[in-house]
Amino acid sequence: MNNKYKNKIIKISNNGLSPTNDVTTFNHLGEKVASKVAGELPLTIKINDAEIITLMTLGTKPEELTLGYIRNQGIIEDIKDIISIDVRWDTAVSNVKTKHNDIKEITSKLKNKTVTTGCGQGTIYSSTLEKLYDKTLPNIKIKRSEIFSLLAKITQYNDIYKEAGAVHGCALCNTSGVIEFVEDVGRHNAADTLSGIMWLNEMPGEKIIFYTTGRLTSEIIMKVKHMNIPIIISRSGVTNMGIELAKDLNVTMIARTKQRSFLIYNNKDNIIFD
């Protein structure tokens, strides 16, 4: 067990995998070429040995992914209730041990589910929605110049995508730059992994900017709300339901970004046009 985070109470394994695999391909001339492909493996999350869900993932940060998933789904609300997270790839299981062995309360939250547009199909349980509207996010101002500066710095990342493609990237940022950057086969996995990192580091979300290479759907807006992050920026587009939810929750939504342009879909008044 290894815990490099601020929270030293939870015992977590350190069983991350290499994100890419070596393969032999042939180019358009029929020549043999050594290439890299993104990894993709199933990881079944269990709580006190009871199966919750199986995710397809790169597996680079499986413990953080596990923690962020159960946080963003509202399955466990207090990190202090968790004793340990143990990932074993020989069984493809990430097992969460909690202080309360009774699994009935947790499984009752998982009865109703919605299959979403997440890569590989995401899932939202009724527990995700229970406290979504408890409070709206604060109005945090951001300068246009700070957005452009951040977009320029983001180009230094996406290492797995540059090497092998087939992944999405998400980042926790502030106006100075990137704090954490995670890539996975689905943007929802990358977002959950960052949520787990935030939880382990006791990091408040109010001063964080969330960046993603993927589209802004209602599912991603829900995740940033559960992470208490008021500003989200995407390289890609948005969905109508994503916009409506951003309005309801007061998420400042910026998308279709390029190096020197972007579109504001919600909370224009939070952008300072310097």
Q: Which two tokens stand for residue 52?
A: 């919750």
| Distance in angstroms (rounded) separating the CA atoms of residues 233 and 47 | 33
CATH of domain 11-112: 3.10.20.10
Q: What's the mean pLDDT in 180-191?
A: 95
Q: Which residues contact 209 (CB under 8 A, 6 or more apart)?
A: 142, 150, 172, 173, 174, 175, 229, 231, 232, 233
Q: What's the mean pLDDT in 57-80?
A: 94
Q: Which two tokens stand for residue 168?
A: 């999405």
Q: What is the pLDDT of residues 6-26, one digit of tens each?
A: 888 899 999 999 999 999 999
* pLDDT higher than 60, residue 191: yes
| Distance in angstroms (rounded) separating the CA atoms of residues 237 and 147 | 17
pLDDT, residue 226, reads 94
pLDDT, residue 196, reads 97
* Domain 11-112 and domain 142-272 have a common topology: no
Q: What is the pLDDT of residues 134-170, one digit of tens each?
A: 888 999 999 999 999 999 999 999 889 888 888 999 9
User: Helix 218-226 to helix 62-72 angle, to the nearest 10 degrees?
Assistant: 90
pLDDT, residue 166, reads 87
Residue that the structure tokens 């020989």 belong to: 90
Q: Which residues contact 70 (CB under 8 A, 6 or more apart)?
A: 45, 47, 52, 76, 96
What residue segments make up the domains of the chain, in order of their start?
11-112, 142-272
pLDDT, residue 4, reads 83
Q: What angle do CA 184, 187, 190 make, to 5 degrees?
A: 55
pLDDT, residue 113, reads 53
pLDDT, residue 131, reads 73
DSSP bridge pairs for 51? 46
CATH of domain 142-272: 3.40.140.10
Which backbone phi and psi does 79 adopt, to 5 degrees? Answer: -60, -25
Q: What's the mean pLDDT in 100-126?
A: 59
Q: What angle do CA 206, 235, 120 make, to 5 degrees?
A: 90
Q: What's the mean pLDDT in 225-229?
A: 96
